[in-house]
Amino acid sequence: MTGPPPSAAVPPGGPSGGPSGGPGAPERHGAARLSPRVLLIDPIRMLPSLILPLAGVLLAGGFSPASFGWAAAGVAGSVIYAVLRWATFTYRVAGGRLELTRALVGRSVRTIPLERIRGVDVSASPLHRVLGLAVLRLDTGAGGGEQEGVLDALTAERAEALRAVLLARGPLPAASEAAASGPAASVPAGAGTSQAAGRAERGAGAAAQAARSAAVAAAGAVPAAGEGGRAEVPPRVLARVPRAWLMYGPLSGAYLLTPFALVAGAFGLAWQWRRELGLGERAAVRALEWALDRPGLLIAAALVLVAAMPVLGAATYALFNWDFTLRAREGHLVAERGLFTRRAVSLERRRIRGYELADGLIERRAGVVRLWALVTGLGDARSRGQLLPVTPRPFATEVAAEAVGPIRAPLRRHPPAARRRRLVRAVAPWLLAAVAALLAGWDLAAIVASVLAVAGVPLALDRYRSLGHAYDGARLSVRSGSLRRGQVVVERRAVVGWTVRQTLPQRMAGLLTVVAGVGAGSGGYAVVDAGEEQGVAFAAEVTPEWLEPFLAPRPPAG
């Protein structure tokens, strides 16, 4: 695989680059290397994997001079390997693509078209921050596979400059450009195979990209001086989460299990290293028997772990979401967070098709929600698409409306048949189990099943209250769930199809489920248990040109 001549290469610091040999310019042949400071990090990162082999060498040699010599040779070999790997890796931006070249043993070139870059993730661990370095990761919508690129480690200045170049130069597909022109635009089914249509789309995409590049250059968004360049247009802060709100984190429940996760991890690590530590399976059995003989100690340890749940949960949550800031910069949303490891994720706004607000039972009681963006082709969307951690609902709704767009229509309620269906599904199975247990003489099981049946009533009512859907002419919204309730707001132009499902119980109740197919997020969002006429009318309202030919004409009034 060959690229354009070196003269066509675009410097990592910007399209125009700096003078040859300047302080921010790449190497003379158009390719650049990672910062040599990474050689101070690699030995430290390799140290955990070297501990056991070096310990084995020293133990096998009886800590003799020869064993120390072999251990030193192993360390020196690791350092030499790190130097060779750094010296034989280069990258460059050329011809509308990013090229990553490795030539340690055999030469390999990975090419990533800029138009396929969905997002750029810039992070820095504590060690990276001390050395002024950063790690740049590309999301190409390939699910984190071989098609994604990682540059570890760039200087912080060059990482920001390269991020601006990759995002500013990455054109959108022509179909997305056409779709962005208006929510009512539609493309015939056979238009994609027409050569004339293809040439028109490519011409439109090229013109749009040229206009975009000119606008970016005029705004000074892409630095022209290379590594030391800075964007002239400052980013606009959309949201900054106060540190006091970090206490909401454990309400989601996942972080409350941090103490138990730490204990389980410690046991797992001890089991993996049992041979190196001189422990066998018999020792593990003896330790278990010793603990079971002391139930008071087990109860005390469990109480300590339960008491530590909110404290460690809040600390862990704050560790990942410290100083969470959402900015609008150069047509992108940039979410930055983290106490020790800072992470900045860039999402192109023109690829964002909507957002999701999610909360659980406890979060709903506290009036807080979490916010994610729905982005086309984004891998690891739950992490990279996060726009806000747990924050008060009014604040999150306001930020979502400003960053993505508001929904200007209230949610429509579903018919009472949906409530009856939820009551039956939540109560009937446990009642049947209680009756069966009572007939079998299992009184305790019958009592437990009866309690669960009674507890299912408020849960079913809450699930019904959570149902709803809306459409305001530009965006549609659907909401469902109880233990985890999610409300999704999607742009009308993102809908690519509809699926209508109706089970036998739904048919008997006059209900159905309508799923809006969306090329972002999870791929489809369901209007659950809507009325038969209500669900079909909703789909026809959003995309009338798709469904009206299949609907039976209404009889004339009177």
Q: What is the 3-state secondary structure (H, E, C) of 41-74?
A: CHHHHHHHHHHHHHHHHHHHCCCCHHHHHHHHHH
Which residue carries 């997020």 as its tokens? 521
Q: In 3D, which of 454, 450, 411, 421 has the Cα closest to residue 434?
A: 450
Compute the distance between CA of residue 86 and CA of residue 36 in angstroms, rounded to an integer: 8
Per DSSP, which regions of 361-510 are E strands?
368-375, 386-392, 468-471, 475-480, 484-491, 495-501
267: amino acid identity, one letter:
F
Q: In 3D, which of 533, 515, 511 has the Cα closest to residue 524?
A: 515
CB of 326 closer than 8 Å to CB of 111: no
**Distance from the first to the final alpha carbon of the chain:** 73
CB of 31 closer than 8 Å to CB of 101: yes
Sorted by sequence, the CB contacts under 8 Å of residue 364 that are 6+ apart come out as 485
Compute the distance between CA of residue 366 and CA of residue 37 in angstroms, rounded to an integer: 47
Tens digit of pLDDT per residue, the chain (558 long)? 444 443 333 444 443 333 333 333 333 346 888 999 888 887 777 666 666 566 666 566 666 777 667 667 777 777 888 888 888 999 998 888 899 998 877 788 888 888 888 778 899 988 888 899 999 988 876 554 444 688 988 998 899 888 888 877 444 443 333 333 333 333 333 333 333 333 433 444 444 444 434 433 333 333 333 334 444 467 899 999 999 998 898 887 777 777 777 777 777 766 666 555 556 667 667 777 787 788 888 888 888 888 888 888 888 889 999 999 999 987 889 999 999 999 999 888 888 999 999 999 889 999 999 999 998 877 666 778 899 999 999 999 999 999 999 999 999 999 999 999 999 999 999 999 999 999 998 999 999 999 999 999 999 999 999 999 999 999 999 999 998 999 999 999 999 999 999 999 999 999 999 999 997 777 889 999 999 999 999 999 999 988 777 766 666 655
Q: Is 191 exposed, middle or buried (0-12, 13-18, 19+ CB in 10 A)?
A: middle
Sorted by sequence, the CB contacts under 8 Å of residue 478 that are 6+ apart come out as 468, 469, 487, 488, 516, 525, 526, 527
Q: In 3D, which of 279, 254, 252 has the Cα closest to residue 371?
A: 252
Question: Structure tokens of 384?
Answer: 């990279």
User: What would you measure as the largest C-alpha separation in the chain, in angstroms?
Assistant: 105
CB of 165 closer than 8 Å to CB of 213: no
Which residue carries 């675009």 as its tokens? 10
